[in-house]
Amino acid sequence: MTASTADLAGRFARLRPSASTDTQPPEHAVAFTLIAVVTAYGLLFLPTGIQLNYQVVSLAAALSAALLALTLLWSAAPRIATLGIPLGYIALAALLREAAGGAASGFGGLFLLPVLWLALTAGGRELAVILLAMGTAQALPLALIGGPAYPASGWRGAVVLTTVAAVTGLMVQRLSAESRRRTALLQEQTDSLTRVSAQLAAQNERLLELDRLKDEFVATASHELRTPLTSLSGYLEMSLDPAEGPLSPTRETHLRIAQRNADRLAALVDQLLFLARADSHPLALHRQPVDLGGILNEAAETARPAASAKNITLEVAADPLPEVLADRPQVLRVADNLVANAVKFTPDGGSVRLTARRDGDTAVLEVADTGLGIPRAEQSELFNRFFRGTNAIEKAIPGSGLGLAISQVIAEAHGGTIELESTAGAGSTFRLVLPLA
């Protein structure tokens, strides 16, 4: 192989659809060769009355077999196959034309085979070289042999055929390049989709792992935080027990402050763990028939000392109500929280009114106060975790900002809601609305 032929073969190989398949035959190569050879031979035996030259027919058969073998053995000698196959097609076309009587055979069209082959598998230069070879293969017998087998009019046929082959070749090449471009684009998109879905799967895996870690943390924290706190409260209570002996007033004050803070810490730990658990698992409800009036009275009793300390009137007015199928401790938790807030955010001398009534097929538990109220702009944020209103911040009213978030989780778990009506400076009304069983 000369340097320029090797170069051409190399370029040709590079121009094939996929560089990574250099040692593989182009797509459909074997099918193309089989169809081309069988069709060409089939045409030879058309009943046109032409006397076939069987010596040349046998030579063409051998050439066809060689072409097929070269296609099948592509990977053993890719460079030879790359240029050898189209050249073989040209030789086959020339031989078959010869076998069927030369220019008059009408077999000149067979020269389209190598052009189509190259248009599908190679670049523009390679196509030009083959068109040149094809033109030469037609022109040589015209020039060297001449009439009557190759009459002068054959020149026109050769030029027409070469022109049609060039146009067809170019069009096929464009179409196949476009289809390759689209396939590559599609492949790229598929690859990127595959990458994204792999990333999502990995992220999902990680989220599941985080979820598992969180569950583990909640379990550990429940134990590790609560146990020392319980012990702390127990010892503080024992220390404050008069049976343990007299305490100096200062020491008693210190111990009471420590006890209050231990209680606050226990409540905060409890709130945090409640929400952490609610995030990973739906709230498990132990439903039983619950008397909402009883709940209101209990919440009022819990809040009474704080209300009395601020001279707040705490009033309960519950209509007789059918029992609600609910988790009593959880509903009590909501009521306690709403009443504690009402007392906390109502200045001295104000009033808090607790009512329970039926409204259609719901039971409504209402806590209304004459307190600070909530600015309209803040009302939509009240149920967000750790949100504390300007009223709480400006007046340094203690709290965690978790009470309403927890209340909402409990209400929703019961299929209910918490509603709010409030005017800044005039007071607030919170309603727990629960479906009646």
Contact residues for ligand ADP (CB under 6 A)? Answer: 337, 341-342, 345, 369, 371-372, 374, 382, 387-389, 391-392, 399-405, 428
Provide CB contacts within 8 A for 312, sequence distance 6+: 343, 346, 348, 349, 350, 351, 352
Cβ proximity to ligand ADP: between 105 and 408 the closer is: 408
Cβ proximity to ligand ADP: between 60 and 295 the closer is: 295
**Per-residue tokens: 262:** 């231990």
For the chain, report the end-to-end CA distance as a whole number of angstroms.
94
For the bound state, the minimum distance from the C-beta of residue 387 to ligand ADP, rounded and expressed in Å, comes to 6
Cβ proximity to ligand ADP: between 189 and 384 the closer is: 384
**Per-residue tokens: 260:** 């209050």
HSE at residue 371, side-chain half, CA atoms within 13 A, is 35
Q: Sign of the C-alpha dihedral, residues 108, 110, 116, 121?
A: negative
**Per-residue tokens: 138:** 């037609």
Q: What is the largest distance, in Å, between two alpha-carbon atoms of the chain?
A: 141
For the bound state, the minimum distance from the C-beta of residue 390 to ligand ADP, rounded and expressed in Å, comes to 7
Cβ proximity to ligand ADP: between 60 and 374 the closer is: 374
Cβ proximity to ligand ADP: between 179 and 380 the closer is: 380
Cβ proximity to ligand ADP: between 82 and 271 the closer is: 271
Rounded distance, CA 314 to CA 308, Å?
8
Rounded distance, CA 421 to CA 427, Å?
9
For the bound state, the minimum distance from the C-beta of residue 244 to ligand ADP, rounded and expressed in Å, comes to 34
For the bound state, the minimum distance from the C-beta of residue 326 to ligand ADP, rounded and expressed in Å, comes to 20
Rounded distance, CA 336 to CA 364, Å?
15
For the bound state, the minimum distance from the C-beta of residue 337 to ligand ADP, rounded and expressed in Å, comes to 6
For the bound state, the minimum distance from the C-beta of residue 379 to ligand ADP, rounded and expressed in Å, comes to 9
**Per-residue tokens: 195:** 């990458």
